[in-house]
Amino acid sequence: MKRIVVLGAGYAGLRVVKQLTHAKVDAQIVLVNKNPYHYESTQLHEVAAGTKQPADITFDIRPLLARKRNVEVIIDEVTRVDQDARKVELKNGEPLDYDYLVNALGFESETFGIKGADENGWPLIDIETAVAARKHLESTLANYRRSHDVNDLHIVVCGAGFTSIEYLGELVHRLPRLAKEYGFPMELVKVDCIEAAPKILPMFEPSLSAWAVKYLERKGVTFHVATPITEVRPGAVVSNDTEFPANTIIWTTGVHGSHVIADSGYDQKRNRVVVEDDLRIADHPDQFLIGDVSAVPNPGNGRLYPTTGQISIAQADAAAANLASLLRGGKTKKFVFKPLGTVCSLGPGAGIASIDMMGHWKLKGSKVSIVKKMINDRTVLELANIRTMLESD
């Protein structure tokens, strides 16, 4: 019997396992994940801001797959892939042989080599870092009553991508409640967002982006565009000759793929590998790379698609179908991606959205939060089952 090893139980990896079991492939499936749970990475900013608890965005993967006779779950950390020997090396266990590999390892924080970013910024890349960022935020705000240091009430968010903007929306929603709880004056609170690019949310139409910016500005956020970060010091973010003092520095400038990619000798850039049109890699047709470690060219313009939960799930479906075909002696098919749109929340009660379903819809305001919740619930439903979706509320 062939062995398929799947690395990572994020959106892509868990979806592949589910689709392969539905296809009833004649193969042993081994899922390797660092943690015993799956977490909704698109909701980490809510945990970091304190509007959700870790239990709200996680579920245990072991009972989910326990009844699948041909699926084994290994909780361990992948350290390297020996591509020539077809082995996956683990931190604690013995190496795993594979006939086919689905590499769906996730993302890591990108610092772009900026001095002090690792030491002084709080990234939001997994449950542990999101919880750490929340604890630091709350303890620093609470400390103002003792310290009377205004920088305890200053927060700098580095970067203005999706995670940054959605975090800001949750943050400004929660700050008034924290002010009452910890007894600090809201008028002294200062929230800065520093972005190297000249525009905020350029993936949206200008009218939607402008609405989002104005909404957050009304809530107290000050945006600094075309402002590259040159250094992060204890208590300050520096852009050339300008210093932004703050005792809470959230680092959300971007992500790259897992370091395992570079450590394993893949031809990569930022730990992402450009895949063939069927999601395999040219030199090793026994491997599929999907999710954050893959780079998929858009056939229409040649640019790489951004890595999102939406494309990860689509890749997983395509990879599982191609694997099932190969196991049955068939051929693979090209991966075709049709984006359904983009949604950006601005806290529990607002957001912007550009939806391409039954026409093109531009949405803003409170109705977007309903759309966002529907998307999150659907993702959990597709990965797990109705019970898990209901328990996540």
Q: Which positions are annotated as active-site residues? A: 166
The answer to whether 280 and 269 are in contact (CB under 8 A) is no
Token match 């997983």: residue?
A: 316
Say if CB 99 and CB 2 are below 8 A apart.
Answer: yes
| Cβ partners under 8 Å of residue 370, min gap 6 | none
Pairing assessment for the beta strands 87-90 and 78-82 based on DSSP bridges: antiparallel
Q: Residues 268-275: contacts with CB within 8 Å, 24+ apart?
A: 269/295, 270/110, 271/108, 272/307, 274/304
C-alpha span between 236 and 338 (Å, rounded): 42
| Closest among 108, 122, 127 to 246, alpha carbons compared | 122
* Alpha-carbon gap, residue 267 to 264, rounded angstroms: 9
CA angle centred on 231, ends 241 and 218, rounded to 5°? 75
Contact assessment for residue 73 and residue 393, using Cβ atoms and an 8 Å cutoff: no
Which position has the token pair 């939806």?
355
Residue 90 in contact with residue 77, Cβ under 8 Å? yes
Place of tokens 């208590």: 235
Q: Are 238 and 230 in contact (CB under 8 A)?
A: yes
What six digits make up the tokens of 114?
Answer: 């900026």
Alpha-carbon span 195 to 224, nearest angstrom: 6
Q: Is 311 helix (H, G, I), strand (E, B) or coil?
A: helix
